[in-house]
Amino acid sequence: MPLPKAELHLHIEGTLEPDLAFELAARNGVKLPYADTDELREAYRFEDLQSFLDLYYELMAVLRTERDFEDLADAYLARAATQGVRHAEIFFDPQAHLARGLDMGTVVEGLWRALGRSEENHGISTKLIMCFLRDESADSALETLDAARPYLDRITGIGLDSAEVGHPPVKFREVYEAAAALGLRRVAHAGEEGPPEYIAEALDLLGVERVDHGLRCMEDPALVERLVRERIPLTLCPLSNVRLRAVDTLADHPLPAMLDAGLLCTVNSDDPAYFGGYAEDNFRAVRESLGLTEERLRELARNSFLASFLEDDEERRARYLAEVDAYAF
Ligand code: ADE
Ligand code: ZN
C-alpha cells in the first residue's frame, strides 16, 4: 500500500483519460477531432501551459450530463484510492461548462453523486473547490459565484486557474471578498508561469490560505521567508511542471531546496490524465529523480493533511496523520 496522502491540487477535468473521453463522446454523439486514443495521446506534447489548456478545454466537450461528471469523478476516485489518497480536495472549472450551455447543477450534482459515495466506495473523504478562469473577466467570475449560490453546501472553497501571465490576482479581488463573506475557503494558482509578485498579491489581495504551485517563489528570498513564517502551504505538481516546461527535467525540480528552506510543500498531480501520473506516481517520481529520503516523503504526506481544509473534522485529520506516522516504507 502506498504512503497515505491528501491530494490538494487536482483538476477533475484533468483526470479525463483518453478511453473515457472516447466512451463519453460516443455516448453523447460528440465528434472528437482524433481518430482514436493513440492519435489523441499524440496531441499530449505540450510546450507550455497554454498549449495544454487548449486541449484540456477542447476535450471537455464530451462532458454533457450529470452522469458524465459522476463517471469522471468516480473513475478518478477509484484510481486515487490505489495511489494511497485518503482525502481529496477537488477543483472544477464551471465557467468552461457554463460556456458550453450546461448549468451549474449538472456539474455540481453530477460530481456530488460520486463524491457523496466516495468514503464508502473508495475510502476517500472529499471536498470540492470551484475555480474561476483567470483569462475570463472579473464580472464572469462574480456571475459564476452567483450561479453557485444554490450549491454552496457542496462547495468548500474557491480557486483561480487557467492562463496565468497577464491575469494578476488583483483582477479577482472583488469575487474573493464576496466568497470570503460567504464563508468559502480561498486558494489560487500563482507562480506557476507567473512571477513571484503574483504569489504575494494572491496572499495580500485575495487572502488565499494556500498557494497552488507557487514554484517561482524561489526567485524571491524575502517571499520565501514570508511563506515559511506564515506557514502558507504550497501545492506543488512535479510531473506537471516537467510536462509544461516550468522545469527542464524532474532532476532540476526545486522541491528539495524548497523543503530545506522550510516551506510547507505538498506533492500533487494537477491533471494526471495529461501529465503522466497520479498522486503516488508523483511521489515515486520525486523519490527516484530527486533522491528524497523516506523521512522527507513522510513529511510531504504529513504536510498534505496539515494543509488540507479539515478544520471541520480535526479528529479525521489526526487519524490520517497517525496513519502517516505509522506507515512502514
Ligand atoms: N487548469 C488545469 N490545470 C491547470 C494548471 N496547471 N494551471 C492553470 N490552470 C489549470
Ligand atoms: Zn492546477
Does residue 157 sit within a domain?
A: yes
Q: Tell me, using a 6 A CB cutoff, whether residue 11 lines ligand 1.
A: yes
Does residue 302 sit within a domain?
A: yes
Look up 230 and say whether it is catalytic.
no
Q: What is the pLDDT of residues 282-309, one digit of tens each?
A: 999 999 999 999 999 999 999 999 999 9
Q: What is the pLDDT of residue 150?
A: 98
Task: Report the 10 Å Cβ neighbour count for 260.
Answer: 10
Q: Tell me, using a 6 A CB cutoff, whether residue 162 lines ligand 1.
A: yes
Q: What is the pLDDT of residue 214?
A: 98
Residues with CB under 5 A from ligand 2 (ion): 270
User: What range does the domain containing 138 cover?
Assistant: 5-308
Local structure of 255: helix, strand or coil: helix
Does residue 38 sit within a domain?
A: yes
Q: Tell me, using a 6 A CB cutoff, whether residue 193 lines ligand 1.
A: no
Q: What is the pLDDT of residue 69?
A: 99
Q: Kindly give the distance from the C-alpha atom of residue 323 to the centroid of ligand 1, in angstroms, as a whole number.
A: 30
Residue nearest to atom 10 of ligand 1 (CA): 162
Does residue 191 sit within a domain?
A: yes
Does residue 264 sit within a domain?
A: yes
Q: What is the pLDDT of residues 124-182, one digit of tens each?
A: 999 999 999 999 999 999 999 999 999 999 999 999 999 999 999 999 999 999 999 99
Q: Taking residues 303-325, what's their average pLDDT?
A: 98
Structural domains of the chain, count: 1
Given 192, 193, 201, 280, the catalytic residue = 192
Question: What is the pTM (predicted TM-score) of this model?
Answer: 0.98
Does residue 326 sit within a domain?
A: no
CATH number at residue 301: 3.20.20.140
Q: What is the pLDDT of residue 114?
A: 99
What is the C-alpha separation between 64 and 48, in angstroms, rounded?
Answer: 28
What is the C-alpha separation between 48 and 63, in angstroms, rounded?
Answer: 24
Q: Taking residues 244-263, what's their average pLDDT?
A: 98
What is the C-alpha separation between 329 and 324, in angstroms, rounded?
Answer: 10
Owner of C-alpha cell 483519460: 17
Q: What is the pLDDT of residue 125?
A: 99
Q: Taking residues 60-83, what's their average pLDDT?
A: 98
What is the number of the ligand 1 atom nearest to the C-alpha of 162?
Answer: 9
What is the number of the ligand 1 atom nearest to the C-alpha of 161?
Answer: 9
Confirm if 250 and 290 have CB atoms less than 8 A apart.
yes
Q: Tell me, using a 6 A CB cutoff, whether residue 161 lines ligand 1.
A: yes
Confirm if 232 and 264 have CB atoms less than 8 A apart.
yes
Q: What is the mean pLDDT of the chain?
A: 98
Q: What is the pLDDT of residue 217?
A: 98
Does residue 322 sit within a domain?
A: no
Q: Which ligand is nearest to the CA of 270?
A: 2
Does residue 329 sit within a domain?
A: no
Q: Which ligand is nearest to the CA of 135?
A: 1
